[in-house]
């Protein structure tokens, strides 16, 4: 068996097109969706990612406001920036790019964001609502994007065994919560494995759908993949490659060539999960703007 590729670029472009139509409709009603992005310090990878988000916002008709404080900002000053964005009616979504410099408290910053503007889906209120199955919860962009990849590829998840390798608060844990929900693209039986899991290969081979987010290049080899499994590779790792013009190449957490021979569907790296993260962030921002407009409309006095 050889796998079919899941084209994250194409599916993300589809979602961004839908987001653009919704943003245009809001703009016609006098509300332009706005995203405030806070990038502390000059981490090169984060700078590239923020530029990509800003460009994607502009293409979708979303106002992007980049705030770039220096790496020596105090906790109090960073919280004041978040407070200002919370109070700004033109900003519907807030994203504080992580990781923050070590002298700053990420948890306190994340919890300071208004849950109604938490388009990254990391506030405890949204995490709790998601666990309870509330449709009002903003879901973290990467796991939400993975679910969309699976749904839009036409893969049935109901009753199937999903194995997730990785237990981070950004991907693994929220992914497990999403796949357990009583909804389309979920209703799965879920196992979460991690670096301390004994006999990891035995566990991963149980997965009819295998989602890997561990940050270790090609950790999951072909023999660890169940025949006919759907493989979703979240990892993006840079490895040395003297034969490449750049001196390196990007690989996932799954040994792609080996898994390709066993899987039914597989995401490439790059071009799989990555484009979905920004697309879902834009989708959450437009949703936040739509909710804000409804809230304003509901508080207007009737003219009858």
Which of the residues are catalytic?
53, 97, 120
Q: Which of 214, 128, 203, 119 is nearest to 171 (CA)?
A: 214
3-state class (DSSP) for residue 240: strand
d(CA 193, CA 195): 7
* Residue 246 burial (C-beta neighbours within 10 Å; 0-12, 13-18, 19+): exposed
- Cα angle 219-224-230, degrees, rounded to a multiple of 5: 95
CA angle 183, 224, 9 (to 5 degrees): 55
Indicate the Cα dihedral angle 222, 224, 229, 234, nearest 10°.
-80
CB atoms closer than 10 angstroms to residue 14: 14
Do 276 and 8 touch, CB atoms closer than 8 A? Answer: yes
C-alpha dihedral (240, 246, 252, 256), degrees to nearest 10 = -90
The DSSP secondary structure of 126-194, one letter per residue, reads HHHHHHTT-TTSPPPHHHHHHHHHHHHTT---TT-EEEEE---TTTHHHHHHHHTSSSTT---EEEEE-
Tokens coding 94: 């807030």
């Amino acid at each position: 068996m050889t796998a079919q590729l899941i084209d994250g670029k194409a599916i993300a472009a589809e979602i961004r097109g839908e987001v653009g139509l919704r943003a245009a409709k809001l703009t016609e009603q006098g509300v332009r969706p706005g995203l405030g992005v806070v990038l502390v310090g000059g981490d090169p990878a984060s700078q590239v990612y923020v530029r990509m988000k800003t460009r994607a916002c502009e293409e979708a008709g979303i106002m992007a406001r980049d705030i770039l404080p220096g790496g020596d900002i105090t906790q109090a000053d960073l919280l004041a920036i978040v407070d200002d964005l919370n109070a700004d009616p033109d900003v519907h979504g807030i994203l504080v790019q992580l990781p923050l410099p070590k002298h700053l408290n990420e948890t306190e910053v994340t919890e300071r964001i208004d849950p109604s503007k938490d388009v990254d889906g990391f506030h405890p209120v949204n995490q709790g609502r998601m666990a309870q199955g509330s449709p009002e919860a903003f879901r973290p962009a990467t796991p939400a994007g993975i679910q969309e990849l699976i749904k839009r590829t036409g893969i049935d998840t109901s009753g199937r065994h999903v194995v997730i390798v990785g237990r981070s608060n950004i991907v693994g844990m929220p992914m497990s919560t999403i796949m357990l929900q009583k909804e389309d693209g979920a209703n799965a039986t879920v196992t979460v494995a991690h670096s301390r899991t004994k006999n990891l290969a035995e566990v991963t081979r149980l997965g009819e759908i295998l989602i890997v987010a561990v940050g270790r290049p090609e950790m999951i080899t072909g023999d660890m993949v169940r025949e006919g499994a759907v493989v979703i590779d979240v990892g993006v790792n840079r490895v040395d490659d003297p034969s490449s013009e750049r001196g390196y190449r990007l690989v996932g957490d799954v040994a792609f060539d080996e898994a390709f021979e066993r899987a039914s569907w597989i995401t490439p790296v790059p071009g799989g999960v990555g484009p979905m993260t920004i697309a879902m962030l834009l989708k959450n921002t437009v949703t936040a703007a739509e909710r804000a407009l409804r809230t304003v409309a509901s508080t207007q006095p009737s003219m009858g």
